[in-house]
């Protein structure tokens, strides 16, 4: 499996060329995934060391599913595979950015929308109010029931 | 202070218009910040309830600094304030996306680069190798020593 460097100094981590990711207490690193064409953020996911290594080796996005507690090859059920065009790592190497092309309907959200970020939050309202969300996508790209059937919904309260 | 709705059902969280964010065990929600002009990911930060509320009320990005354990108005030291053009929330409301315009030199990274994601990770190499990072930005926008002086570096090993 792809191996990662040991983190030995701030200079190595920030200014060096060794991939030395920082996994959190749960063994995970945050991953932002954007559409390589539009630049829109599609989702925020998490990777463990295996998911990160598989993504690097295969060029297809793999995550760690926190709800299912399992390695998750994105698109394994839905067919909506994410082909990685470019991978970036941030300054302290505790976050990854994937630019991807999505297969099929182009959706990345289990609710059926293209992006998981299909609602906006209004800014500058009265400070004691509860903001009311606005839908920025109006049509689902697929029917989640048809694609996922009776699989448990990953959203947790 | 801006108030948030209580999370009562998956349908409310995914399909509703109430802002009902899910903060993790540390009281934080992940935040992806992109450049409103180029679409590039500038940084991944974290917000507590106060940082989220302040961002909504002021239209300027506020985070929770995990290294300093304090509310962090981005740009308070450096002047590199992030003006929020649009805020989005994801399907299960455990991640926020900010599209921002950055003041001054336009940098968002404490190392001096425009984006924290100034290095790429090559894909598809031999599976037993350690990937060697490639710099995608070649010039710093500011001198971190001149801006931050002797303040402790937030990068942790």
Place of tokens 């910040």: B33
> Does A95 have pLDDT greater than 90?
yes
pLDDT of residue B122: 96
Which pLDDT band, with edges at 50, 70 and 90, does B77 fall under? confident
Which pLDDT band, with edges at 50, 70 and 90, does A77 fall under? confident
pLDDT of residue B125: 83
pLDDT single digits (tens) A5-48 = 999 999 999 999 999 999 999 999 999 999 999 999 999 999 99
> Does B85 have pLDDT greater than 90?
yes
pLDDT single digits (tens) A107-117 = 899 999 999 99
Mean pLDDT of B38-59: 97
pLDDT of residue B74: 94
- Nearest CA-CA distance, residue A119 and chain B, Å: 6
Which pLDDT band, with edges at 50, 70 and 90, does A127 fall under? confident
pLDDT of residue B52: 97
B39, B84, B120: residue with CB nearest A39: B39
In angstroms, how far is CA A122 from the centroid of its own chain?
Answer: 24
Please give the Cα distance from A155 to B13 (Å, whole number): 8
pLDDT single digits (tens) B116-141 = 999 999 999 887 888 999 999 999 99
pLDDT of residue B1: 85
Q: What is the mean pLDDT of chain A?
A: 94
Residues of B in contact with A3 (CB under 8 A): 128-130
Residues of B in contact with A123 (CB under 8 A): 55-57, 59, 84, 87
Mean pLDDT of B50-55: 97
- Cα–Cα–Cα angle for B95, B79, A90, rounded to 5 degrees: 45
Which chain A residue lies closest to B108 (C-alpha atoms)?
A: A91
Please give the Cα distance from A90 to B91 (Å, whole number): 25
Q: Looking at A51-60, A144-153, B137-146, which range is the least confident one?
A: A144-153
pLDDT of residue B27: 97
A87/B120 CB distance under 8 A: yes
B7, B128, B157: residue with CB nearest A3: B128
Mean pLDDT of B58-86: 94
Q: Residue A100 corresponds to which tokens in the numbers above?
A: 């991807």
What part of A 36-65 touches B (C-beta under 8 Å)? 38-41, 43-44, 53, 55-59
Please give the Cα distance from B37 to A149 (Å, whole number): 39
Mean pLDDT of B39-51: 97
B153/A10 CB distance under 8 A: yes
Please give the Cα distance from A96 to A19 (Å, whole number): 11
Which chain A residue lies closest to B91 (C-alpha atoms)?
A: A116
Residue A113 CB-half CA count within 13 A: 20
pLDDT of residue A114: 94
Q: Say whether residue A133 is in contact with chain B using an 8 A CB cutoff.
A: yes
pTM of the full structure: 0.94
Which chain A residue lies closest to B54 (C-alpha atoms)?
A: A127
Mean pLDDT of A94-105: 95
> Does B96 have pLDDT greater than 90?
yes
A91, A119, A154: residue with CB nearest B89: A119
pLDDT of residue B129: 84
A155/B59 CB distance under 8 A: no
Q: Say whether residue A24 is in contact with chain B using an 8 A CB cutoff.
A: no
pLDDT of residue A33: 98
> Does B104 have pLDDT greater than 90?
no
A5, A13, A32: residue with CB nearest B130: A5
pLDDT of residue A1: 85
Residues of A in contact with B96 (CB under 8 A): 121
Which DSSP category does A130 fall into? P
Which chain B residue lies closest to A90 (C-alpha atoms)?
A: B117
CB neighbours of B126 closer than 8 A, spacing ≥ 6?
A: none
Which DSSP category does A132 fall into? B
Please give the Cα distance from B56 to B59 (Å, whole number): 6
């Amino acid at each position: 499996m792809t191996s990662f460097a040991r983190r030995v100094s701030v200079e190595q981590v920030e200014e060096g060329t060794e991939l030395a990711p920082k996994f959190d207490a749960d063994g995970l690193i945050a991953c932002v995934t954007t559409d390589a064409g539009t630049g829109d953020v599609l989702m925020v996911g998490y990777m463990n060391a295996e998911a990160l290594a598989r993504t690097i080796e295969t060029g297809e996005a793999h995550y760690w599913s926190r709800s299912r507690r399992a390695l998750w090859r994105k698109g394994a059920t839905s067919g909506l595979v994410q082909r990685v065009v470019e991978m970036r790592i941030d300054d302290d190497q505790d976050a990854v950015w994937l630019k991807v092309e999505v297969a099929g309907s182009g959706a990345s959200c289990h609710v059926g929308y293209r992006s998981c970020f299909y609602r906006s939050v209004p800014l500058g309202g009265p400070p004691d109010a509860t903001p009311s969300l606005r839908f920025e996508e109006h049509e689902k790209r697929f029917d989640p029931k048809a694609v996922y059937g009776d699989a448990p919904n990953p959203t947790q309260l």
